[in-house]
Every structure is written in C-alpha cells, then in structure tokens.
Amino acid sequence: MIYKEYGKTGEKVSAVGFGGMRFDLKRSNEENAGLIKYAFDKGINYFDTAPGYCEDKSEDIYGLAFKDMKDGFFVSTKGMPVKFDTAQKARDAVKKSLERLKVDKIDFYHVWCLRKMEHYELAMKPGGQYEGLMQCKEEGLIGHIVFSSHQPGSEIKNILKQDKMEGVLLGVNILNFPYRWDGVAAAYEMGYGVVAMNPLGGGMIPQNESRLAFLSEDGETPTEAALRFVIACPEITVALNGFTTREHIDTACKIADNAGSFTDEELESIKKRLGSNMDKACTACGYCDVCPQGINIPAYMQHYNDKQIFGSNDEKLKKEIGFSHGWGILASSSARAGDCVECGKCEEECTQHLPIIERLKELLVLENEIYKE
C-alpha cells in the first residue's frame, strides 16, 4: 500500500480509501462490516461515509466495524450546509455521527456537497455550520474540516484560497480528468489533500471494458488502468472505492502495491489516447470553455457521451441530467442547453470537431421533458 500525506494535516493516509456508499444491502450489517475489517487488515486506513448512504445504514455498518478495529485508521463523514444551517445543528449532526460510528473523533469532516458558491457562503455565515464545526474541532470531536464539491475548478480554487478548509473531495477519473484537473492541480499545488470519488465513472468503466481497451497498458484491464490512474497520480491523495467484495479490495491493494508515480507524460499520453480513440466523443479537454452564454459545454457533452459511447437510453440520461442540475456539476451554472444562441464559437474551438450545437438541441429535448414532469 502507498501512504500519502493528506495536505498539510500531517496525517498519512492510504492511497486507496474505502467509500461507504455501495454496501450490498442484501447482506447483513455484520457481513458488510467484515468487508471493512478485511480492508483495514490489507492496509487501507481511510474510511469514508455519510449520513444517508445505503439507505442510511452506512454509518452504522462502519460503527460495527470500528468497535472491533484498533487505532490507526481515519474516519471521514459529512454534513450538508443546506441541512445543518446553524452552528447548533452542525454540532448535533457531528455528535449523531460520532455515536453511530462508535468513535471519539471524526478525522475528516466534510462540509458536504457544495454545488455553488452560495452553499459555501451558507456554511461560512456567522452562526452557521462552519462555526459549529470549529467548536467541535476545538473540543477534539473533529480532526480536520474539509469539503466535498461538484463545482468547477475555478470555484474550488476560490474556496481553498480562503484557507478555511484543509482538503477537498471531488469526482475525478481517467475519463473526465482533463476537464476536472484544474481543481485537482490547484488543490495539490496549494498543499491541500485531494480525495477522488467515483474512480470508475459510476460503474461505466467496468461495464464498457471492450470499448475502453485503449486505456490499458501492459495487459491490465481498463478498470485496473482507471484505478491505477487515481491511485498513482501524486496530485490525488486518496482514491475512494465503493468495495462490495474482497476481490475488489485485493485488486485495488495490488495496484497500490505496484503502481509507480504517474507522470505528466503519462497524463498527456492518456489525453492523446482519449482524443484518438473516442472519435466523435467528448474527451473533456475543456477547450470549448468560450461560451458567451455561460453554458457548461463539457458537462453537457459528457452526458452525450453516456448516450453515444455507453448506450444510455433517454430515461437514464434524463435521470443523470436531472441529477447533474440538482446535485452535480451543472448545479453551479444557471445557463442551460436552451440558452445556446448558435454563435458557433465552441465548435470552432472543439478539438474533436463535435457538432455541439446539434447535440445541445438533442439534450434540450430531454431537459424540457425533465422539467415538464
């Protein structure tokens, strides 16, 4: 296992983290807790959860495991500023999580799910969530206050510049990294911890291995390549995996045992391979970020990729786009597909020469259906 310094916190965390949002609920809580203990024995020391995950059972499952585990692991959980909007509510939420997790301290507490700057401002208002978390920190109930974000890199940078948070959790993987990288790189360069969620694109990568064979090197599978990417990039401190089997844990640990550091040349090589193998697909390079209407074109084109490359049907796409507007990357911008004035600037810049305007029109039909329903 590789262990990395989490930013400036002085904590040494495993490059592979256990993400607690995918427990198999057909199993008993004890069985799922056994998987956590197995991961700990294999060298994983970073365990992430949140209230509400897995039908609200995740924190309890961790609690079952933690009461049997000796010291030497880090606990991460979360609270949303929109839900816990006063210092008192934030303190109560921390205490509830501590009770369920059966620990005395939450090492990394996330101001959860920032989708726009207003969410950050809400957390930071006098008497708000951050104030309550700082009180908890002073009492030793929290180790470090960090945040999870679905925002563009520029907003992540702005938050980190305030120097109130000690690290960030965001969704980055081998397919979307060109577009998400500025937030990751900025956090790394400023000396903050970066935790990557969703390393397998929500299951898209293992489900489409034959289409993504170009991602692999030296006999590895595309899934292994995707895991190696998040584990071995120095900019990423911890790669969260939602393990459901011991075999998944073994695979990730084996990669962490053998992976050398990912170099800038390798990143460039993947970018090129994304460009040359994803014909007529968006490679998330971000060069189209010129829209006078402020439309988040790469985000829309990533949704189109789901249809074109991964065969998502309209219903699935509508669900994903709706989620994206509510909770994901599209939430930080008010501009929608329908705001396109067909100026053509984005198509001039597109490295893949994609018919962006036509694709936005197709997505607009779905978007209109979402908001009609």
Dig out the tokens for 136 from the structure.
Answer: 């908890």
Q: How far is the CB of 276 from ligand SF4 (least distance, A)?
A: 12
Nearby residues of 190 by Cβ (< 8 Å), 6 or more positions away? 157, 160, 161
Q: In the complex, what is the shortest distance from the CB of residue 349 to ligand SF4, in angstroms, rounded to a whole number?
A: 6
**Among 82, 185, 357, 364, which residue interacts with ligand SF4 (rule: CB under 6 A)?**
357
Structure tokens at 183: 């937030």
For residue 201, give the DSSP letter. G
Q: Looking at 340, 363, 366, 367, which residue binds ligand SF4 (CB under 6 A)?
A: 340
Q: How far is the CB of 112 from ligand SF4 (least distance, A)?
A: 28
109: tokens are 């507490």
CB of 225 to ligand SF4, least distance (A): 20
> Least distance (Å) from ligand SF4 to the CB of residue 287?
4
Which member of 195, 204, 256, 284 binds ligand SF4 (CB under 6 A)?
A: 284
293 touches 339 (CB < 8 A):
yes
Q: Where are the beta strands (DSSP E) in the chain?
A: 3-5, 12-14, 16-19, 46-48, 74-79, 106-114, 142-149, 167-171, 193-197, 238-241
Quick one: which segment of 30-38, 48-56, 256-264, 284-292 binds ligand SF4 (CB under 6 A)? 284-292
Question: For residues 72 and 18, what is the distance between their CA atoms, to the nearest angstrom?
Answer: 14
345 binds ligand SF4 (CB under 6 A): yes
**Cβ proximity of 201 and 230 under 8 Å:** no
Does residue 283 interact with ligand SF4 by CB under 6 A? yes
From residue 285 to residue 314, the character string flagging contacts with ligand SF4 as x (rule: CB under 6 A) and all else as - is xxxx-xx-x-x-xx--x-------------
Residues making contact with ligand SF4 (CB under 6 A): 179, 282-288, 290-291, 293, 295, 297-298, 301, 340-346, 349-352, 354, 356-357, 360
